[in-house]
Amino acid sequence: MTTFKKTGMQTINFDNPPVITSWACLVGPKEGEGPWAKDFDRILADYLFDEDSWEKAENKLLRETVKLALTKQDLQTMEAELLLAGDLLNQTISSNYAARELNIPYLGLYGACSTMAESLLIGAMMIDGGFFNRVVSATCSHHYSAERQFRFPVEQGVQLAASAQWTATAAGAIVLQVKGQGPRVTCATIGRVIDMGVDDTNNMGAAMAPAAVSTIKAHFADKGLNSDYYDLIVTGDLGAVGMNLAKELFVQEGLVPAPNYSDCGVLLYDGLQGVNAGGSGCGCSASMLCGPLLKKMINGELNRLLFVATGALMSPTASFQGETIPGIAHAVAIENA
Amino acid sequence: MYEEKNEALKAAEKQEYKDLVNRVKPKPPLLVNCLWAFGVGGLICLIGQLFLNYLLNIGMNKADAGSATAVIMIFIGALLTGLGVYDKIGEKAGAGSIVPITGFANVIVASAMEFKKEGYIFGVGARIFSIAGPTLLFGFVASVLIGLVALIIK
């Protein structure tokens, strides 16, 4: 008889928690000037990465990150059984082309900036379900390829709103295995699409904050945990505005995750780097997780981490047609054994 | 009935959230931004005026000098865009560098540079006016309408 692994409304438990055996992250020059430079595997010297377009650079960024994560376990690329990846570009071209080069069986995902959590939780399900032994979950974003798709040409002189965020140039990849050394993915909460009517494309943090709070609330309700269970609850890329909104919403919902609550968008850059409200993009939460956060778990500074990557499901076409911006967030619990 | 109530409740929730967002959202430094826009916009106009005066002094008639000044200013805007300077100015100056004719040159050259990777036909050719297009279209429409009005009044 099958035992169901779902608990409560939205949460799934992993009976045989998959192990995060290795991970890697590559970041762009600006991210390398931030406070976490020593925690990233590699900092690119320039945004083109020896390619001739931003899109090709982004594809290479993802490809190299996946390879590096596998190399750390002395694995050949072909030893990976499944690649779960996604990015921000139309038709998720960065991931598709990276998968073409890597030649690993591939499922493409789109969860906007929530992709790191989405790929991680699906990968964990694949392994706990007994379908695969070794899965790679990965995502990436590139500042300039995202700018030209979602906003303006790079050289155009525009003034950004103080609530606008800076799309990170970064990629993160995680190797999940049935057995091995490392932190484990113990459970995950799949988020609902929440739309509170925000239509300001310069304020994505506000569009995503209600989704983040909804998922975190569901996680604690489903698991019956106190909010101090985790050493750190970290949202993906709400930025300064979204994080403040999330804190207000936590109070309204009767949750008290502070002081062990933070946001990757706020953490990734120094305040002086001219990023307005902070970082965003798939690579923002991916590089924070695959850089400083997992390192802190290995060091024992953190033992229980709730990683809540957030995505604004924004489309320029829908926005021009007067649609509001829906948000989504997925939570993944990572714990030391 | 139940659905209606649900809708009303949802609308109220959204309004409440909107108020919260407006409270939390950082206010733009309006005075500083205005001063920057005034300073940079004024400087661009001053440079244009210097060219105009110079051209008039060397004996060009008023209409020709005006056209030549516009050409020079567009060239400067395009050159600064190509050198990657204009977007830095725009970050600070906002409308101060968008509204003058140099800003118009900036959006066209920026689009051309951006879409060159997709080739000269489907990239540059098709998308060079992706930002400036509305200005051109409605500018042409307005000029035609004004021309018609002038014709009728005459």
Q: Spell out the domain ranges in chain B.
A: 29-153
Q: What per-residue confidence (pLDDT) applies to A8?
A: 93
What is the band of A219 on the pLDDT scale with cuts at 50, 70, 90? very high
Do A248 and B103 make contact, defined as CB atoms within 8 angstroms?
no
Which residues, in sequence order, are CB contacts of A120 under 8 Å at separation 6+? Answer: A137, A174, A176, A185, A188, A307, A332
Residue A177 three-state SS: strand
Distance from CA of B106 to the nearest CA of A (A): 6
Q: What per-residue confidence (pLDDT) applies to A171?
A: 98
Mutation test of the interface with chain A: which of B18, B22, B25, choosing the one with the most A Cβ atoms within 10 A? B25
Per-residue pLDDT of A181-195, as tens digits, reads 999 999 999 999 999
Domain final position from A155, A177, A199: A177
Lowest mean pLDDT among A130-139, A206-215, A249-258, A277-286: A249-258
Q: Which residue has the tokens 């005006």?
A: B66
Residues in chain B within 8 Å Cβ distance of A161: 28
From the list A154, A159, A248, the residue facing B91 with the nearest CB is: A159
One domain, residues A137 and A44? yes
Q: What per-residue confidence (pLDDT) applies to A121?
A: 97
From the list A52, A158, A248, the residue facing B24 with the nearest CB is: A248
| Cis omega (within 30 of 0) for bond into A18 | no
Among A199, A168, A211, A162, smallest CA distance to A311 is for A211
CA distances from residue A32 to A47, A193, B147 in whole angstroms, order as listed = 12, 33, 57
One domain, residues A60 and A148? yes
One domain, residues A166 and A49? yes
One domain, residues A18 and A166? yes
Residues in chain B within 8 Å Cβ distance of A159: 33, 90-95
One domain, residues A169 and A204? no
Size of interface A-B (CB pairs under 8 A): 94
CA distances from residue A282 to A148, A168, A314, B37 in whole angstroms, order as listed = 16, 8, 13, 34
Structural domain total, chain A: 2
What is the band of A258 on the pLDDT scale with cuts at 50, 70, 90? low
Q: Are A327 and A211 in contact (CB under 8 A)?
A: yes
From the list B17, B26, B90, the residue facing A158 with the nearest CB is: B90
* DSSP H helical ranges for chain A: 29-32, 54-71, 93-102, 115-128, 143-150, 204-223, 239-253, 264-267, 282-288, 294-299, 316-320
One domain, residues A239 and A287? yes
Domain that holds residue A242: 184-335
Backbone angles phi, psi at A43, to 5 degrees: -115, 125
One domain, residues A194 and A74? no
Judged against a pLDDT cut of 80, whether residue B2 lies above it is answered with no
One domain, residues A173 and A66? yes
The CATH number of the domain holding residue A195 is 3.40.47.40
Judged against a pLDDT cut of 80, whether residue A138 lies above it is answered with yes
Domain final position from A177, A199, A216: A177
Annotate B52-79 with b (16+ C-beta within 10 A) or e (fewer). beebeeeebeeeebeeebbebbbebbbe
Angle at A206 between CA B132 and CA A313, to 5 degrees: 65
Pairing label, strands A82-86, A106-109:
parallel
Query: What ipTM was assigned to the predicted interfaces of this complex?
Result: 0.85
Per-residue pLDDT of B76-98, as tens digits, reads 999 999 999 999 999 999 999 99
Domain final position from A130, A161, A177: A177
Residue A287 is assigned to a structural domain of this protein = yes
Residue A1 is assigned to a structural domain of this protein = no
Q: What per-residue confidence (pLDDT) applies to B34?
A: 95
